[in-house]
Amino acid sequence: MSETSASSPDSDPSAAGGPDPADGPLHLAVALQDAGWHPAAWREPDARPRELFDAGYWTDAVREAERGLLDFVTFEDSLAPQSASPFAPDDRTDQVRGRLDAVLVAARVAPLTERIGLVPTLVATHTEPFHLSKAVATLDYVSTGRAGLRVQIAPQPHVAAHFGRREFPPLPERDFNAPQVQQLIADLFDEAADYVEVVRRLWDSWEDDAEIRDAATGRFIDRDKLHYIDFEGRFFKVKGPSITPRPPQGQPPVAALAHASVPYRLVARSADIGFVTPQDAGHAARIVAEIRQEQQEAGRSAERLHVFGDVLVFLDEDAGAAQARRERLDGLLDEPYTSDAPVFAGTPRGLADLLLDLRAAGLTGFRLRPADADRDLKAITRGLVPELQRRGAFRRSYEAATLRGLLGLPRPANRYATAAARA
């Protein structure tokens, strides 16, 4: 994607409901992964590959993102080593392999930052929602209300083999649209939707004032304000309540990455933020329209649901230098690197033009993927952000202390407290 590749929207993305894309500030997030999103970034002269498993490396990156007043960072995670193929493991030794646990990294960084949101990635397919609910609730306490959750699925058979509880068929790269593969994917996204619902109910299983902590009377909690969730669905049967009190935000924001109709439905029905990968403004408008329609059909049209565009970026003061760096890194691979998200190589000013064009198509924010975790992250915070500020499109200070506050999401009422009040 060059600096002039965006086109005009060809439909009205807000017609099906949801917030007006021009209503409120532009939101920006950064996706942190390894030494950067380009697989050869770890070989750059200024890269820090020896520090990828050090807490200080991640702390530095998040502090830089906070310096740029970004809404949040996401931390990538998986249940198997990284692979050049999304469907199977590989034997490559020329790319980063291995990573730290995303929740634990976020928890380590949380006390060392103040305002930026922290959103770890968690795999719903092979983990238990009870465990995840208390992990993210704990992160919300550690960060004083800045936690979020990005949920993803894992359909790969080699990942399932790590757990031994079920088996998945091989995923053919050339026939991914085969009916049996698409049915598996649909089932896993349905499972993820139930997963999110269980997590949300567990967060609500303690009322906000369930903890009395009255030493004089000897009452620490009010047992009447702890609730069984009694969830029974196709994939989970969970009694509850949680062992962790309701998080400071009530409900930490839930996010998901979506590339097609089935995951768009998950975003519309279960998430607060959807990450999508439009190739131009017209494509963005169609994606947003589909998500808004699904949101309306789910009865959520009155709720604020953010749709962020993902863009992988190479940024430099000179567009030619950014493109040359991309080509140089591609030259270290067997073939040019391709991404599920559009790739932009150019200047911060050119990226600002693109983002504002895409915003007019209905996107409410963007999650940028730095090709080089150090160079491109700094170009975002010290080049792109000032450019957007000059155009009046981005904040000049943090206006809220919680992630929900930064995203303009109200703190939701506790569903069980409301039910108990009616009883």
Binding-site positions for FMN: 77, 121
Nearest Cα to 118, choosing from 203, 78, 59, 197?
Answer: 59
The first and second tokens of residue 334, run together, are 């067997």
- Any long-range contacts for 179-188 (C-beta under 8 Å, 24+ apart)? 182/262, 184/155, 185/153, 185/155, 185/262, 186/262, 188/124, 188/125, 188/153, 188/154, 188/155
The first and second tokens of residue 313, run together, are 């970026």
Helix (H) or strand (E) holding 282: helix 281-297
Cα gap 270→409, rounded to integer Å: 15
DSSP per-residue letters across 308-377: EEEEEEEE-SSHHHHHHHHHHHHTTSSS----SS-EEEE-HHHHHHHHHHHHTTT--EEEEEESSTTHHH
Cα gap 252→145, rounded to integer Å: 8
Per the CB < 8 A criterion, the answer to whether 414 and 208 are in contact is yes
Q: What is the 3-state secondary structure (H, E, C) of 55-121?
A: HHHHHHHHHHHHHCCCCEEEECCCCCCCCCCCCCCCCCCCCCCCCCCHHHHHHHHHHHCCCCEEEEE
Please enumerate, by residue number, every residue annotated as part of a binding site: 77, 121
